C-alpha cells in the first residue's frame, strides 16, 4: 500500500499502513495504559484509526515500531495534522492525553490555570505512582513473579498500592470525579488502573489490596465504566 506523504517518513507505517491517513493513527493494545488514549479519543470525538500492537508477537520490539517510538511502549500516536499542520509522533500516555486535550480544546483539561495544574498533578500521580506500583503487583501476583518464593517484593508493592488507593479514597469523598463535577484526563488515566488491579479480569488482586474497604472507589469506578466512551475505548484496538 502506498503511504500518504505525510506519514511515509515514519517507519511504523510500513508495518501498520494507514487506511485513513488524514486521521490520528493510534498504535496500542487494550491494557490499562493503552485504553487511556482510546478512551480519550472517544470522549473528545476525534477521528482516529487504531492499529493493534500485539505483545504476543513482540510487535513493540520490531524495527518499524522502535524506529518511530524508541521507548518501544504502547500507546503511541501519529497525528498527521499536528502543530503547524505538520505530522507529530508521540509516545507516553500522559503526554498524549495532554496533547489531545489541548488539540481538541476539550474541557477534559480545564482552561482555568488552578484547575489545569491540579488535573496535571493527578495525572502525574497516576503516571509516577499508580501505574508503576499496580503494575508491579500484577507482575508479582499474576505473571512471572508469582512463582518467586520470596514474597517480600510482592508485599512491598501491595502495601504501596493499598496506600495509593487510600489516597484516592480520601480524594473521592464527596466528589463525582477526581476534580469534582468535571470529568478530566486525570480520570481517564487513573480509573483503568484501579479497574485492572481490582477485577478478576485484570490482576485479580482485589483481596490483596483490600478492595472491599474502598467504597468511594467502587462508586466512582462503576460510574466510569458506565460512560459510553469508556465502554467503547476499553476494547480498542480489538485483540482480534
On the question of pLDDT at 119 being above 70, the answer is: yes
Please check the confidence at residue 177 and state whether its pLDDT lies above 80.
yes
Pick the CATH number of 113-231 from 3.40.50.1100, 1.20.1080.10, 1.20.1050.10, 2.60.40.420: 1.20.1050.10
pLDDT for res 49: 98
In the predicted structure, residue 43 carries a pLDDT above the cut 60: yes
Whether pLDDT at 3 is above 70: no
Beta sheet of 88-91, edge-to-edge order: 48-52, 24-28, 76-79, 88-91
The pLDDT tens digits of the residues spanning 130-142 come to: 999 999 999 999 9
SS3 89: strand
- pTM above threshold 0.85: yes
pLDDT at 1 over 90: no
Q: Which has the closest alpha carbon to 162: 222, 221, 212? A: 212
pLDDT at position 95, please? Answer: 98
d(CA 239, CA 126): 25
Domain residue spans in the chain?
12-106, 113-231
- Output the CA–CA distances (angstroms, integers) from residue 140 to 127, 128, 146, 147, 205, in the order listed: 19, 19, 5, 8, 10
pLDDT in tens, 69-98: 999 999 999 999 999 999 999 999 999 999
What stretch of H or E contains 90?
strand 88-91
Type and span of the H or E element at 87: none
Query: Per residue in 46-55, pLDDT tens?
Result: 999 999 999 9
Q: Let me know if 64 is exposed, middle or buried by CB neighbors in 10 A (0-12, 13-18, 19+).
A: middle
User: Which CATH number is 12-106's, of 3.40.30.10, 3.40.50.620, 2.40.160.40, 3.90.76.10?
Assistant: 3.40.30.10
φ, ψ at 79 (rounded to 5°): -100, 110
What digits encode the pLDDT tens for the residues 185-232? Answer: 999 999 999 999 998 888 999 999 999 999 999 999 999 999 999 999
> Sign of torsion, CA 93 94 98 99?
negative
Amino acid at each position: 500500500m502506498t503511504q500518504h506523504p505525510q506519514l511515509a517518513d515514519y517507519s511504523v507505517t510500513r508495518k501498520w499502513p494507514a487506511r485513513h491517513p488524514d486521521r490520528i493513527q493510534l498504535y496500542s493494545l487494550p491494557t490499562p495504559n493503552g485504553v487511556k488514549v482510546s478512551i480519550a479519543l472517544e470522549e473528545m470525538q476525534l477521528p482516529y484509526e487504531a492499529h493493534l500492537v500485539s505483545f504476543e508477537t513482540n510487535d513493540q520490539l520490531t524495527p518499524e515500531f522502535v524506529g518511530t517510538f524508541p521507548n518501544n511502549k504502547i500507546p503511541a500516536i501519529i497525528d498527521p495534522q499536528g502543530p503547524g499542520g505538520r505530522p507529530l509522533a508521540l509516545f507516553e500516555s500522559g503526554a498524549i492525553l495532554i496533547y489531545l486535550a489541548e488539540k481538541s480544546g476539550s474541557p477534559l483539561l480545564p482552561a482555568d490555570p488552578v484547575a489545569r495544574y491540579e488535573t496535571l498533578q493527578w495525572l502525574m500521580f497516576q503516571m509516577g505512582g499508580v501505574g508503576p506500583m499496580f503494575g508491579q503487583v500484577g507482575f508479582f501476583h499474576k505473571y512471572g513473579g508469582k512463582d518467586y518464593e520470596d514474597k517480600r517484593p510482592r508485599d512491598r508493592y501491595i502495601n504501596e498500592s493499598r496506600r495509593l488507593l487510600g489516597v484516592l479514597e480520601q480524594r473521592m469523598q464527596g466528589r463525582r470525579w477526581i476534580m469534582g463535577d468535571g470529568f478530566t484526563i486525570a480520570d481517564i488515566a487513573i480509573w483503568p488502573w484501579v479497574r485492572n488491579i481490582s477485577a478478576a479480569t485484570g490482576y485479580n488482586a482485589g483481596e490483596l489490596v483490600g478492595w472491599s474497604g474502598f467504597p468511594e472507589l467502587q462508586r466512582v469506578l462503576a460510574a466510569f465504566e458506565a460512560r459510553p466512551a469508556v465502554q467503547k475505548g476499553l476494547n480498542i484496538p480489538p485483540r482480534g
